[in-house]
Structure 1
Amino acid sequence: MTNSQEALQRLREGNERFASEVHSGETFLRRMRSAKTNFAQKPFAIIIGCSDSRVPVEIVFDQDLGDLFVIRVAGNIVAASQLGSVEFAAAEFGTPLVVVLGHTHCGAILGTLERLRRPVEARSPHLRFIAERIEPAVSGLLAPEPGYNRDTLIRESVRANVRQSVGQLRQGSKILERLIEVGQLRVVGAEYSLETGRVEFLED
């Protein structure tokens, strides 16, 4: 059984292969082409990532089918459905690691910052729901005191949103809290760089 530290190391090594163009998802693509999907999944990590089409999680971490339990949602937010999905994977498969994966130039973050600067009625209640989940993480960064330039504001907002989602996973579910308390589950944040292809894991 893989523990959380081993799982984290596998992700680091896989991303290094991807970023260095050593494998670049060859195993994953080969499995997809052969359509051999009738095997039991044993995910060693759960990834809550953004829906952004430029961040294909299995390929970014150079992992095979069945290795990662991937939950994708705009802005890598955590709501009831994401919590339930993580609970299922952690309980069903004994997966020891959850990674909240944000990324640079996140459209959901950019949209939320713009909404906070120039409040307008959202185009739909569903889009408003996503923005409202992100707002608590980023609203304080728009205060005059930080004085961030645009690039720094966006980077800090992406990371603040990741940390908020990490906190919601750690404290939003009695099932996950119990697993964390007994050392069977670890939740960490990370940021994927669209520019370099590298994932930086954010320390607590």
Structure 2
Amino acid sequence: MYPNMQTANAPSPSRRGLLRAAVAGSAAVGSVLTLGSAFPASAAPAPAPAESEAAGRPASPEEALRRLAAGNRRWRSCRQEHPRESPSVRLELTRAQHPFAIVLGCVDSRVPPELVFDQGLGDLLTVRSAGEVLDEAVLGSIAYGVLELQIPLVLVLGHQSCGAVGAAVHADETGERLPAHIQYLADQIRPCIDRSQHGDARVDATIDAQARRTRGRLAAEPDIAGRIAAGKLVVAAARYELRDQRVRTLA
């Protein structure tokens, strides 16, 4: 239940342009729950959470998704609540944390999960890598949230105009190598490139494919798969639209 997205500018053919796109512009498995193409407009807004940081935490994946959907509606209508920022919540968080969702997003400065979903301190465990690329540090961070903090939802969040994906597609088309460690990102994204599409449509389709592939790889991790099979966890993929700030799930 999330919104739409379309891809943006093709990266410059120069090496400097590729670097700028990758850094500045950046910014399926049977057990994975399919939740539809967009956040349900008819869904009742989540009730205002109690001031206590641990109170009213979503206990199920479905509740967690509804909480994120309600927050995204507030964000895109400019009615943010900026919840759980009070001195009492800050004090409570010195003793424990109870986040209800893990969001694996891109490093892009335009897609901060806490703002996009209008959540507060202690609500989200956020992990960010360019193009939602997985490595051992990212996997370990997500495993910590799932296994140690018992978080019921992992959301892989791609976004419109992803510079990392755009740079990977351009490098694949031209054969030009990207600078330093940025080539690693392109190599990880390359299997998702949709060569049946052309131009901006190719980048756009690859953004979705990369989010779906990352979701599938996470859901196939043995420890994570065990919690999915037990009904304690959902791993979902979604996409953020820069044009209208909507988030939609990717089936």
| Structural mapping, 1:4-153, within 5 Å | 4-23=61-80, 26-27=82-83, 30-31=85-86, 38-124=94-180, 126-138=181-193, 141-142=194-195, 146=196, 148-153=197-202
SS at match of 1:27: coil
How far did residue 31 of structure 1 move?
4.7
How far did residue 39 of structure 1 move?
4.7
Indicate conservation of the 8 Å contact 2:82/2:119, yes or no.
no
SS at match of 1:26: coil
Q: Which contiguous aligned blocks of 4+ residues in structure 1 show a shift greater than 3 angstroms?
A: 34-37
AA matched with 2:59: T
Segments of structure 2 that go 5 or more residues without pairing to the other structure are 1-57
Residue aligning to 1:188: 236
Residue aligning to 2:222: 174
Aligned counterparts of 2:135 and 2:231: Cα–Cα separation in 1: 24
AA matched with 2:112: P
What RMSD, in angstroms, separates the aligned Cα atoms of the two structures? 1.8
Residue aligning to 2:246: 198
Rate the CA distance shift 1:152–1:121 in 2: closer, same or farther, 3 A: closer
Aligned counterparts of 1:181 and 1:60: Cα–Cα separation in 2: 29
Tell me whether 1:157 sits opposite 2:206 in the alignment. Answer: yes
**How many corresponding residue pairs?**
192
Aligned counterparts of 1:93 and 1:121: Cα–Cα separation in 2: 40
AA matched with 1:13: A
Segments of structure 1 that go 5 or more residues without pairing to the other structure are none
SS at match of 1:38: coil
How far did residue 120 of structure 1 move?
1.8
- Bigger relative contact order, structure 1 or 2 (CA pairs below 8 A, ≥6 apart): 2
Rate the CA distance shift 1:166–1:22 in 2: closer, same or farther, 3 A: same
Indicate conservation of the 8 Å contact 1:31/1:65, yes or no.
no
Richer in helix (by share) = 1
AA matched with 1:153: R
User: What is the TM-score normalised by the length of structure 2?
Assistant: 0.72
How far did residue 169 of structure 1 move?
0.2
